């Protein structure tokens, strides 16, 4: 096959690409420079994380040269800024807590690569994600299925759940059957790729220092408002609702004498009234979810009736048994056990065994 390989410069995408080359495929490597100066070869001191830093680009280029494949660098910083960073800022300003990685996979990485692949005669796109695709020729259903990775500790099906069926049909994940990340690192070492010891990145790629509140405040400015308790009493002041997320305990800025003996948590963020509400942890419990903008990946399953399945509401969270109904792109979900601290804007992904059935964005919850 003629394959377009997404190369981030990390161990996973490097091993995934090497496997495709070893299998005899015609592979072209692509590095997406998303939020750094792709023309710069100066690697600054200190930690560098995420898509687009010079060190990762250099590693990707070196691995491609070692494998003897064509390698290209695409500058998509402007697209990334408009479709991901602007979306991120807008969501927080509306009182939501978004999943930028999910949004990036859907609207930038996979969209860009698959568009190019279709226009230039590539048969497939591969990446180093830990997930599996069971293609229509093997699924027995006439369409491609998205499945969890064999190694659940690194499973990334949650962040891929927004990708559509047509895109998944041309997507392959060579690491989906890996036994562990340690096995992949050992393989990178054995192949001499020079990236086996690179650390994983868990932070938001465009906020490498982890200071989300500082990042947003620098771009949106301070927007002072009230912090109220569950009874409507003013207990503090905030500099912007974007600095708070449902379930948050630390950094509330409350006076100890006001807070009382029991810790307070953010239980609501109302962007329209510019009010953050805090209360006891008992008020964080959620039993019902309404989620919108559904991406349904299981056309063989009737959604007219309530569906018994499992949902996952965090990238590395546990599965929760639930009853789901779907109509007009809206999922109504009744949980069989409560979950605490679920912000609006998070992805809720529906699973049956290891198969991803669909995904939607949390709009409202009910205690």
Mean pLDDT score of the chain, rounded to an integer?
89
Q: In the annotation, is 101 catalytic?
A: no
Q: Which of 51, 101, 104, 287 is catalytic?
A: 104
CATH number of the domain where residue 129 is located? 3.40.50.620
d(CA 241, CA 276): 6
Whether 354 shows a pLDDT value over 70: the answer reads yes
Write the pLDDT tens digit of every residue in 48-91.
Answer: 455 556 788 999 999 999 999 999 999 888 899 999 999 999 99
| pLDDT tier at 42, thresholds 50, 70, 90 | very low
How sure is the predictor about 38, in pLDDT bands with cuts at 50, 70 and 90? very low
3-state secondary structure of 242: helix
Q: Compute φ and ψ for 23, nearest 5 degrees.
A: -75, -5
Q: 282-322, pLDDT tens digit by residue?
A: 999 999 999 999 999 999 887 778 899 999 998 888 999 99
Q: pTM of the entire structure? A: 0.89
Clarify whether residues 45 and 154 are in a common domain.
yes
In a domain, 207, yes or no: no
Q: Tokens standing for 114?
A: 């698959």
More confident site: 206 or 320: 320
Of 249, 279, 309, which residue sits at a domain end? Answer: 279
Helix axes 86-93, 212-220, angle to 10 degrees: 90
In a domain, 325, yes or no: yes
What 3-state DSSP class applies to 95? coil
Instruction: Output the pLDDT for position 52.
Output: 55
Among the listed residues 51, 101, 205, 287, the single catalytic one is 205
- % of the chain with per-residue pLDDT over 90: 64
Q: What's the rounded Cα separation, in Å, for the pair 194 and 163?
A: 31
Q: Which residues pair with 66 in a beta bridge?
A: none
The tally of CA atoms less than 13 A away on the side-chain side of residue 119 is 6
Query: 23 and 80 share a domain?
Result: yes
- Clarify whether residues 171 and 149 are in a common domain: yes
* Residue 41 belongs to a domain: yes
- Cβ contacts of residue 273 below 8 Å, gap of 6+? 225
| Residue closest to 128 by CA, chosen among 187, 168, 175 | 175
**Distance separating alpha carbons of residues 55 and 356, to the nearest angstrom:** 34
120-168 confidence digits (pLDDT tens):
999 999 999 999 999 877 666 778 999 999 999 999 999 999 999 999 9
Question: In the predicted model, is pLDDT for residue 258 greater than 90?
Answer: no
**Mean pLDDT value of segment 17-28:** 97
Nearest to 292 by CA among 38, 96, 45: 96
Mind listing the pLDDT tens digit for each residue in 170-202?
999 999 999 999 999 999 999 999 999 888 776
Q: How far apart are CA 350 and CA 365, in angstroms?
A: 16
C-alpha 271/C-alpha 145 separation (Å) is 38
Average pLDDT over residues 19-40: 83
Question: Mean pLDDT over residues 89-116, rounded?
Answer: 90
- Secondary-structure breakdown of the chain: helix, strand, coil percentages, each rounded to the nearest 5: 30, 30, 40
Asked whether residue 324 carries a pLDDT value surpassing 70, the answer given is: yes
Do 266 and 323 share a structural domain? no
Within a domain: 111: yes
Q: Are 28 and 72 in contact (CB under 8 A)?
A: yes
Q: Which domain does 293 fall in, by range?
A: 284-366
**320: CATH:** 2.40.30.10
* Residues ≥6 apart with Cβ < 8 Å to 328: none
- Phi and psi at 279, nearest 5°, equal -170, -175
User: Is 217 contained in some domain?
Assistant: no
Q: Any catalytic annotation for residue 51?
A: no
Q: Kindly state whether residue 209 falls inside one of the protein's structural domains.
A: no
């Amino acid at each position: 096959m003629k394959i377009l390989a997404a190369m981030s410069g990390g161990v996973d995408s490097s091993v995934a690409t090497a496997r495709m080359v070893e299998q005899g495929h015609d592979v072209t490597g692509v590095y997406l420079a998303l939020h750094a100066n792709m023309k710069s070869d100066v690697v600054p001191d200190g930690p560098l994380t995420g898509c687009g830093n010079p060190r990762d680009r250099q590693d990707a280029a070196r691995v491609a040269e070692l494998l003897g494949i064509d390698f290209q660098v695409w500058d998509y910083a402007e697209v990334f800024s408009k479709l991901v960073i602007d979306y991120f800022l807008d969501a927080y300003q509306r009182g939501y807590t978004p999943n930028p990685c999910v949004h990036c996979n859907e609207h930038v990485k996979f969209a860009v690569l698959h568009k190019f692949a279709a226009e230039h005669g590539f048969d497939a796109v591969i990446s180093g994600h830990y997930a599996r695709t069971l293609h229509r020729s093997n699924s027995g259903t006439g369409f491609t299925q998205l499945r969890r990775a064999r190694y659940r500790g690194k499973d990334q099906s949650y962040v891929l759940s927004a990708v559509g069926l047509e895109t998944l049909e041309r997507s392959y994940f060579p690491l989906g059957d890996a036994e562990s990340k340690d096995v992949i690192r050992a393989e990178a070492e054995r192949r001499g790729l020079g990236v086996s010891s690179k650390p994983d990145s868990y932070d938001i790629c465009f906020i490498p220092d982890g200071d989300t509140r500082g990042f947003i405040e620098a771009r949106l400015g301070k927007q002072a408002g009230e912090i109220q308790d569950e009874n409507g009493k003013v207990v503090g002041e905030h500099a912007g609702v974007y600095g708070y997320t449902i379930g948050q305990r630390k950094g509330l800025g409350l006076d100890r004498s006001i807070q009382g003996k029991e810790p307070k948590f953010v239980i609501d963020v109302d962007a329209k009234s510019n009010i953050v509400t805090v209360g006891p942890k008992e008020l964080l419990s959620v039993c019902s979810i309404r989620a919108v903008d559904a991406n349904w990946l299981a056309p063989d399953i009737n959604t007219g009736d309530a569906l018994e399945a499992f949902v996952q509401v965090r990238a590395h969270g546990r599965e929760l048994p639930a009853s789901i109904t779907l109509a007009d792109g809206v999922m109504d979900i009744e949980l069989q056990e409560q979950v605490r601290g679920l912000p609006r804007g998070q992805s809720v992904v529906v699973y049956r065994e290891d198969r991803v059935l669909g995904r939607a964005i949390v709009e409202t919850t009910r205690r």
